[in-house]
Amino acid sequence: MTMMRKTLLSLLLVSSVFSIATSTRRHSNSNIDWWCSQTPYPEPCKYYMQQTHYHHKLKHKSEFRAILVHLALERAVIMRRKARDLGHNGIAKKQKSVFRDCLKLYDNTVFHLNRTLNGLREKRSCSPFDAQTWLSTARTNIETCQNGALELGVEDFMVPTERCNVTEIISNGLFVNWAFLKYEAVHYTEDAEADFPSWFSMHERKLLQSSSIRAHLVVAKDGSGHFKSVQAAINAAARRRIKSRFIIHVKRGVYRENIEIDKTNDNIMLFGDGMRNTIITSGRSVNAGYTTYSSATADLMFCSVNSLCPTEASRFTVANLLAGRTWLPATGVPFTSGL
């Protein structure tokens, strides 16, 4: 009889614990469903949220935003790993350009998702403007990879399923962050007559206003500087220990090269002897087997990216671009006139 009582009590205890756990999970799932239903892509949101350890009730939009970024980061890491594995299986010659670009772009996506998540956790180091910029960059990198395959007419082999999942989760994060962005934009005031964006420090403003900037390195085609190529100077700057502002003066001349500044080589400032005198150009093209991404004359994987408010952005026009018709012919650099 005593044994039966113990068995009955044990069964009741297990049943109670199971009921509580089931009730908690249902309540949690209901909470997740509600939050995810507010996003553009609710289904992947629900699926991946339920696969994680986030089973507590979400109370604030900022918490939901951080979780979405975390989910995007987890999926992006998986996407990158699967993409790298493709290289071990062998890829066609025509796919190699896309493969190299995509690995670099996926690395950059992981980097920006990681810095967004860390910034949101620290709060002080990531404004809604920063989050929107970094998340947009992460998503654009993935889309650029896909576009490269289409341009070269090769099969979309760079883990399309994983890429789609990551893109949709990032899009959800951008959507949620937009609410914070709108709030900050309403409370943001900027002097329309200011000469520089608000995030320019006083030191940087004085530096750009100065008529004589002292460079750390000089690039000159005639050999009178430290280096003859711009990329050589950039590579030298990457070896510095302290990543403070580093200034490179590119003297007059036409430099036919593709330059690349990695995201770890930040705070680089290039200045020349005027837009008609110092020109960096390149001849890469899609017809030559390069994607649009890799054919760019300057490949800048920025680490420190700042956002412009609407007032600041309105100062940028196509006037200087169109005016190029008057001075580009004298440089000897090939170009096509027209839009």
What would the pLDDT profile of 39-71 be if each residue is shown by its tens digit?
999 999 999 988 876 666 788 899 999 999 999
- What pLDDT does residue 282 have? 81
Q: How far apart are the two ends of the chain, measured CA to CA in Å? A: 92
Q: Cα(169)–Cα(41) distance, rounded to whole angstroms?
A: 7
With cut-offs at 50, 70 and 90, classify the pLDDT of residue 110: very high
Show the tokens assigned to 235: 């590579």
| Half-sphere exposure in the Cβ direction for 270 (13 Å, CA) | 23
With cut-offs at 50, 70 and 90, classify the pLDDT of residue 211: low
Average pLDDT rounded to a whole number, residues 102-112: 93
What would the pLDDT profile of 111-128 be if each residue is shown by its tens digit?
999 999 999 988 667 888
Flag the least confident range among 99-108, 228-237, 280-289, 318-327: 318-327
* Higher-scoring residue by pLDDT: 311, 231: 231
* Higher-scoring residue by pLDDT: 119, 203: 119
What would the pLDDT profile of 216-275 be if each residue is shown by its tens digit?
999 999 999 999 999 999 999 999 988 788 889 999 999 988 888 887 888 888 888 888
Domains and CATH numbers, the chain: 23-184 (1.20.140.40), 211-303 (no CATH)
One DSSP character per residue, 122-185 reads: HSTT--HHHHHHHHHHHHHHHHHHHHHHHHTT----S-HHHHHHHHHHHHHHHHHHHHHHHHHH
Is pLDDT at 90 greater than 60 in this prediction? Answer: yes
- What pLDDT does residue 139 have? 95
